Amino acid sequence: MKVQKWIYRLLPLLLVASLLAGCGSSDEEKSNKPASNQTEQQASGNESDSKEKEETVVITISKDKGKEQITEKEVPIKEDAILMDVLKENFQIEEEGGFINAVEGIAPKKDEKKAWMYSVNGEMANVGAAEYKLKPGDKVTLDLQSWE
């Protein structure tokens, strides 16, 4: 009888000790792993961030040669993306025959000598938006300005 009582008292102690030992090594492994996992995640995160940035363009919509900014948006693009298609996917665009008549509901007034012009990376484009192939990282400015 005395042996049974002793075993019944010893078993819970052994069970608790084994649980604590198991938890202790698990916590130690966890505390070591996140540091290396964080480094790996940060490294792979930086790679994916740079890849994402390489596959986007920034489009700024403004008036009067940038005096009034309407909106600016970073948008994803696919390889060989055409500017007009990207504009239509991300903004409210009204166009006719390749010419942009209104952006986000903003259009020149009837007798106003203004038109929507665009530049890419600070240079006026020499083709229409329906023909311009975007490259990752391009900065496009679409501006309602006087053409006089």
Q: Position of tokens 């203004």?
A: 114
Q: How far apart are CA 77 and CA 50, in angstroms?
A: 14
Q: What pLDDT does 120 receive?
A: 97
Q: How far apart are CA 25 and CA 14, in angstroms?
A: 17
Residue 39 tokens read as 């480094």
Burial class (CB in 10 A: 0-12, 13-18, 19+), 94: middle
Q: What pLDDT does 98 receive?
A: 85
Write out pLDDT tens, residues 77-116.
999 999 999 999 999 999 998 889 999 999 999 888 999 9
Write out pLDDT tens, residues 31-82.
444 444 444 445 445 554 444 445 999 999 999 999 999 999 999 999 999 9
- Contact indicator for 142, 65 with CB cutoff of 8 Å: no
For the entire predicted model, the pTM comes to 0.62
Partners of 118 in the beta sheet? 142
Q: How far apart are CA 73 and CA 57, in angstroms?
A: 8
How many residues in total does the chain contain? Answer: 148
73: helix, strand or coil: strand
Q: Which amino acid does the sequence have at 101?
A: N
Burial class (CB in 10 A: 0-12, 13-18, 19+), 136: middle
In the predicted model, is pLDDT for residue 128 greater than 70?
A: yes
Q: Return the CATH fold of 56-146.
A: Ferric Hydroxamate Uptake Protein; Chain A, domain 1 (2.170.130)
* Residues in Cβ contact with 68 at an 8 Å cutoff, skipping those fewer than 6 apart: 62
